[in-house]
Copies of this chain bind each other. A is one copy, B any other.
Amino acid sequence: MISRYARPEMSAIWSQASKYRIWFEIEAHGCDALADLGVIPKQAAETIWEKGGAAEFDVARIDAIEREVKHDVIAFLTHLAEFIGEEARFVHQGFTSSDILDTTLSVQLARATDLLLVGMDRVLAALKSRALEHRHTITIGRSHGIHAEPTTFGIKLARFYAEFSRGRDRLLQARDEIAVCAISGAIGTFANIDPAVEAHVAEKMGLSVEPVSSQIIPRDRHAAYFAALGVIASSIENIAVEIRHLQRTEVLEAEEFFSKGQKGSSAMPHKRNPVLTENLTGLARLVRMAVMPAMENVALWHERDISHSSVERGIAPDTTIHLDFALHRLAGVIENLVVYPDKMKANMDRLGGLHNSQRVLLALTQAGEQRESAYRLVQRNAMKVWDMFRDEGGAGDGAFQQLLHQDPEVSALLTADQIDSMFDDAYHLKHVDTIFDRVFD
């Protein structure tokens, strides 16, 4: 975990203190269930809650015990006994370490997902608000990095909103995948622990019961979980790349907020760099790299081997922490994004109306020209505009329109008025509301 890419709320979920608190709760709820079953005295369960609930576990002390006994759960139970005393022997009856460890991982991942959902919602809110703000802000649509036809900046953001809505759904499904409890004993057969214990702990910890575990919760769940996070990371990259493009010097249609006193570069005082979205691009890679090892973790030997454990010690905190940070960084970028509608319009118009080429093409075909030769007519004028644009740094207002007027073959097919009528940008935006209705319903 890279501390500069961590928010304290998420880090807290993965702290040693949180982990031990969850361990305690699982054990204590387990005691309640065991007491109900008559396996241990009711009084013991009460004492455990009382004294353990009030305890402040000493991480250093547990570490010290672990160095001695070389077993983390036993170390914790030993420390717990220091608070609870005599009745400590009723704790952990019939449990296996994995019952505690795997269920705790589920609780942590579920809580982490709840925080991720908060981040997603912040991104969604920012996207929606800015999309509505720029619903009609015209800008050139680009395919292959080349000017194509107009769209609006709001539609761009609506597209990202729809993508993040899907990401949110996937995150909810991913939460369901891993919010499961398994307390089924050494090999998953409940030989030494009643299934009722599992059911009770699951309910209390807000988890569902794993139908069939084998000492551990099956790892296809975790693979699906990290895959969902990987897709969300890719969507973050998608927005980040868009903004980086918009900010590049020659485009400059939008910029990350650049605060007073900020420095873009220690060497070059003129610099204003999209460092946040570049950073998000990198964070996306970091989140995504967990997907492959999570999938490799699925095929464990027989009822379990422990190869997945070291992997998860890394990717479970790191991936959720970095994604959480990235979501909030992204939300901030969107909320504060400085948008230049005039520059958008100016950039679009620097190609002298070329973005209407399809419309002219269709008009020529409707005027009876074969598609092939109509294409040739439009293309030969368009190419001239490109040359003007390249050589003169801008094609000049209405350059394409003018050339069409001057082309005898074109004017044989279309009247001057017809030509002019095709250079009306509103034409391209007539379905903006349709799209917005679909997305924001």
Contacts and interface: CB of A to CB of B under 8 A. Distances in A.
Contact of A220 (B94, B167, B306, B393): B167
Interface stretch (A41-49, A54-62, A431-439): A431-439
Contacts of A268: 148-149, 186, 355, 357-358, 361
A249 B361 contact: no
B282 A187 contact: no
B170 A211 contact: no
Contact of A343 (B292, B390, B427): B390
Nearest to A380: B269
Given A188-B151, A275-B306, A291 B227 contact: yes
A270 to B, nearest CB: 4
A266 B91 CA distance: 14
A145 B314 contact: no
A325 to B, nearest CB: 10
A267 interface: yes
Interface in A28-82: 69-71, 73-74
Interface in A278-327: 278-279, 281-286, 288-293, 295-311, 313-315, 318, 322
A371 interface: yes
Nearest to A266: B97
Given A159-B214, A235-B298, A302-B245, A309 B390 contact: no
A85 interface: no
Contacts of A304: 143-144
Contact of A144 (B251, B305, B427, B432): B305
B73 A266 contact: yes
A220 B235 contact: yes
Contacts of A351: 249, 270
Interface stretch (A18-26, A116-124, A189-197): A189-197
A11 interface: no
